[in-house]
Structure 1
Amino acid sequence: MAGKLEKAALKPVNMALGLAAGALAGVLFKQVWKLASGDDDAPDAGDEDRGWGEVLAAAALQGAIFSVVRAAVHRGGAIGTRRVTGHWPD
């Protein structure tokens, strides 16, 4: 029974961590793109004035940053759960 209660209690925490990770990744991507390109705004796939290379580079960089931040937050949440509950989350 404790396992079900722990899972239910951790759902809102995990959702909040996910939202925070997304926001952090977005801010981080904007800063990295600004440093890498010198441009304040990353290109959108539908931006007619940007070339394929720039659009695909921005998408790859954004995907990499989001994946790394998501993995770090997920791992940190699992470690925090183990510290609080004594076991690794399922």
Structure 2
Amino acid sequence: MKAAYRPVGLLTGTVSGLVAGAAFRRSWKSLRHDEHTWSATDRDRSWREIWLAAAAQGAVYAVVKATVDRAGARAVHRVTGTWPG
């Protein structure tokens, strides 16, 4: 079953990355009123600001990836009757 789920996992991984990136950019824009997220190489930002931005981006990515992965597993379970993993 793991081999059958692999294409679904690859697809959901790609989708979750795209969705997480868009969600983070949108939330960053609304919270910080800034078009661009802070980069680790941004000279005008402190370590604390860079770490906070990275932590926020990681949290958004983790939540979106877990949500998409779980939805993909549930869809496979509905179709095949077997839980992947």
- Among residues 61, 82, 85, which one is paired with 2:77 in the alignment? 82
TM-score (norm 1): 0.86
Runs of 4 or more, structure 1, over 2 Å off, are 7-10
Q: Scaled by the length of structure 2, what TM-score is found?
A: 0.91
Structure 2 counterpart of 1:33, one-letter code: W
Q: CA deviation at 1:56?
A: 1.3
- Equivalences for residues 57-68 of structure 1 within 5 A: 57-68=52-63
User: Kindly, what percent of the aligned residue pairs are identical?
Assistant: 45
Q: Which runs of 5+ in 1 are unaligned?
A: none
Q: How many residues align?
A: 85
Unpaired stretches in structure 2, ≥5 consecutive residues? none
1:49 to 29, 37, 44: 44
Q: Who wins on radius of gyration, i.e. which is larger? A: 1
In structure 1, the residue corresponding to 2:36 is in which secondary structure? coil
Cα offset for 1:10? 2.6
Map 1:7-46 to 2 at 5 A.
7-46=2-41
**Structure 1: distance between partners of 2:41 and 2:32:** 18
| TM-superposed deviation, 1:17 | 1.1
